Amino acid sequence: MERAVPVVGEIVPALPVKLFCGMIAADTRLFLRAGNVLTGLYGDIDWESDPIPFDFTDYYEDEMGTGLLRKFVAFAKLMDPGRLADVKIRTNGLEQELATGTDGRRRINLDPGYVDGSRLVLATTKNVAHRIYLGQGIYAEVTLTFRKNGCGYFDWTYPDYRSDRYAGCLREIRRRYLEQVPRPESKGHVD
């Protein structure tokens, strides 16, 4: 009996993904300022959420104050997922540009990520066991997965990303993505 020759995996380009950014600030004018800069970098925003109270943690209060709000924006133009580290570096720079005072404290937190048919990925500078190094000091984390009737979460999924308040926003970003991208034949995308 002849042995089968091993099949080498075919390398194919990744499908484009939908870039989004979660913004946290107490001053809603910063959402507009950051959105204008991000539009200049990544193209038109095709969806944005209303501001959502960010009351899941007090992690940012010492630096950014109280009464924090979260807003999501999603961009019309799909991008190569390999660009995520560059996006995070640029949003970190924008946070510094929008900082005030001699102490340089942030007034806005920008959390870029992307959505595809099966998952939501966030970029971060923090290295922990479940994150993958992308390069340039940036890591990626699959924060949640999309399922037929909702989202699937991990032990590390942030409490706000587990909330019903965010779920509708994130599913809407995914819905828009699915309208834009051709349906893949692989099983990697969950309906």
Closest C-alpha to 73, from 99, 37, 35, 103: 35
- Contact between residue 116 and residue 18 where contact means Cβ atoms under 8 Å apart: yes
Cα separation of 164 and 48, whole Å? 17
The pTM assigned to this predicted structure is 0.89
Q: What is the mean pLDDT of the chain?
A: 91
Number of neighbours of residue 190 by Cβ within 10 angstroms: 12
Q: What is the pLDDT of residue 103?
A: 74
> With bands split at pLDDT 50, 70 and 90, how would you rate the model's confidence at 191?
very low
Q: What is the pLDDT of residues 52-77, one digit of tens each?
A: 999 988 888 988 999 999 999 999 99
User: Beta-strand (E) ranges in 36-137?
Assistant: 45-48, 52-53, 69-75, 108-115, 119-124, 132-135
Residue-wise burial string across 94-109, b where 16 or more C-beta atoms lie within 10 A, e elsewhere: bbeebeeeeeeebbbb
Mean pLDDT of 71-93: 98
Give 152's contacts (C-beta < 8 A, 6+ positions apart): 144, 145, 146
Q: Where are the beta strands (DSSP E) in 5-107?
A: 18-25, 45-48, 52-53, 69-75
- Average pLDDT (124-146) is 97
pLDDT reading at 112 higher than 90: yes
pLDDT tens sequence across 159-177 = 999 999 899 999 999 999 9
Distances (CA, A) of 14 to 35, 38, 72, 89, 139: 27, 23, 24, 21, 18
